[in-house]
């Protein structure tokens, strides 16, 4: 199946520290990208060719109809997001303008709630390389050709995947995970949904916001990790401010699209701060 995705960059979206970064298999060559990722039933393969600001996508799967694939790709990659309107609202300063220019077409993805929950529990106090190694191990050992379900992981010996202290949180959430209950959080306002998620061990402020942003697609969510915090301090003068105050700042500045702003701050900020650190 073929989709012409306007104002979309597959590579930027894959690489930018979102769940597919952690459990997808991908490769890049010039303006071409390949992604293969596990879902509830089997795998989906995406071949992308970048043509300027647009991307030509060819999608394959043995387990889904064309209609199901179209819906999956449009939802997963935010292809129906009004990205130009979003850019207009988050381009509030030069840093954000540069971030958009450098990573034009990067979308905030919407993954299954379970995919996001597992991915971001693994992500805490971790780096992308190690997160990816753990997630690929979990998929390979417990997924059987699909993304591993909570039941496939609950009660299993997962230490071999190297999750360390996170293993106890993974096993507990796998045991307690109730799809209908977690799905119901989507109906709650952002703050209430966040409180519900934070009742579970291993889900703190940042992890909850990551799940809400990339599992529930609640764009009010603004995950704050070390990179985002450093940018907020250096570029927006929030030195000494609490995480709560940083959230308030983001809500006021990028009202309704703080999650998109965060993704661009995070990914552009990594390269920006790397240059600062190197002098």
Q: Where a domain ends, among 60, 80, 100?
A: 80
**Any domain includes 104:** no
Tokens 């990205």 locate to: 83
- Are residues 171 and 240 part of one domain? no
**Any domain includes 146:** yes
- Are residues 209 and 236 part of one domain? no
- Are residues 207 and 126 part of one domain? yes
Stated as kind and residue range, the H or E segment containing 57 is strand 54-60
CA–CA separation, 2 vs 142, rounded Å?
A: 31
| Full residue range of the structural domain in which residue 66 is found | 2-80
**176: exposed, middle or buried (Cβ count in 10 Å: 0-12, 13-18, 19+):** middle
> What is the pLDDT confidence band of residue 279, given thresholds at 50, 70 and 90?
low
* pLDDT at site 188: 98
CA–CA separation, 274 vs 279, rounded Å?
A: 9
CA–CA separation, 59 vs 150, rounded Å?
A: 27
Residue 233, number of CB atoms within 10 A of its CB:
14
**Any domain includes 87:** no
**Any domain includes 169:** yes
- Determine the angle formed by the axes of helices 258-278 and 226-236, rounding to 10 degrees: 80
- Are residues 203 and 151 part of one domain? yes
Span 151-174, mean pLDDT? 97
**165: exposed, middle or buried (Cβ count in 10 Å: 0-12, 13-18, 19+):** exposed
- Are residues 258 and 166 part of one domain? no
Span 215-226, mean pLDDT? 97
Q: Where a domain ends, among 170, 185, 214?
A: 214
Question: pLDDT tens-digit profile of 16-43?
Answer: 999 999 999 999 999 999 999 999 999 9
CA–CA separation, 13 vs 10, rounded Å?
A: 5
CATH number of domain containing 252: 1.10.1670
- Are residues 177 and 253 part of one domain? no
Q: Where a domain ends, among 39, 61, 80?
A: 80
CATH number of domain containing 176: 1.10.340.30
Question: Which range (55-69, 199-213, 222-236, 264-278) has the least confidence?
Answer: 264-278
CA–CA separation, 200 vs 208, rounded Å?
A: 10
For the cut 90, the answer to whether the pLDDT of residue 278 exceeds it is: no
Tally of domains within the chain: 3
Contact criterion met (CB below 8 Å) for 83 and 7: yes
Measure the N-to-C terminal CA separation of the chain; round to a whole number of Å. 47
Q: Which two tokens stand for residue 230?
A: 């450093």
- Are residues 206 and 117 part of one domain? yes
**Any domain includes 251:** yes
* pLDDT at site 25: 98
CA–CA separation, 132 vs 178, rounded Å?
A: 25
CA–CA separation, 33 vs 9, rounded Å?
A: 10
Q: How far is CA 31 from the centre of its chain?
A: 22
Strands (DSSP E) found in 130-195: none
Span 209-236, mean pLDDT? 97
Span 64-88, mean pLDDT? 97
**Any domain includes 85:** no
* pLDDT at site 48: 98
Give the gyration radius of the chain's Cα atoms. Answer: 18
- Are residues 120 and 195 part of one domain? yes
Residues in the chain: 279
> Which residues, listed in sequence order, are joined to residue 214 by a DSSP beta bridge?
none
**Any domain includes 101:** no
273 compared with 244, residue with greater pLDDT: 244
Question: pLDDT tens-digit profile of 90-102?
Answer: 999 999 999 999 9
For the cut 90, the answer to whether the pLDDT of residue 274 exceeds it is: no
- Are residues 210 and 136 part of one domain? yes
- Are residues 201 and 124 part of one domain? yes
- Mean pLDDT, the chain, as a whole number? 97
> What is the pLDDT confidence band of residue 273, given thresholds at 50, 70 and 90?
confident
**Any domain includes 96:** no
- Are residues 238 and 209 part of one domain? no
């Amino acid at each position: 199946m073929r989709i012409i995705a306007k104002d979309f960059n597959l590579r930027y979206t894959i690489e930018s520290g979102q769940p597919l970064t952690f459990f997808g298999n991908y490769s890049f060559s010039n303006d071409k990208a390949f992604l293969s990722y596990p879902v509830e039933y089997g795998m989906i393969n995406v071949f992308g060719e970048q043509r300027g600001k647009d991307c030509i996508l060819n999608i394959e799967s043995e387990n889904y109809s064309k209609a199901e694939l179209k819906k999956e790709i449009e939802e997963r990659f935010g292809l129906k997001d009004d990205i130009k309107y979003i850019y207009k609202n988050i381009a509030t300063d030069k840093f954000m303008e540069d971030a958009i220019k450098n990573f034009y077409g990067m979308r905030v993805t919407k993954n299954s709630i379970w995919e996001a929950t597992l991915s971001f529990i693994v992500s805490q106090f971790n780096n992308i390389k190690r997160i990816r190694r753990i997630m690929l191990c979990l998929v390979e050992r417990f997924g059987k050709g699909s993304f591993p379900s909570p039941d496939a992981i609950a009660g299993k010996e997962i230490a071999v995947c190297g999750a360390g202290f996170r293993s106890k949180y993974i096993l507990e959430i796998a045991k307690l995970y109730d799809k209908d209950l977690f799905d119901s959080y989507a109906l709650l306002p952002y703050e209430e949904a966040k409180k519900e998620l934070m009742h579970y061990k291993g889900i703190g402020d940042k992890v909850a916001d990551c799940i809400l942003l990339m599992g529930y697609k609640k764009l009010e969510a603004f995950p704050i990790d070390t990179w985002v915090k450093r940018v907020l301090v250096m570029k927006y003068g929030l030195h000494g401010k609490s995480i709560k105050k940083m959230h308030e700042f983001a809500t006021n500045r990028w009202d309704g699209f703080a999650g998109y702003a965060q993704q661009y701050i995070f990914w552009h900020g990594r390269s920006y701060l790397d240059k600062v650190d190197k002098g």
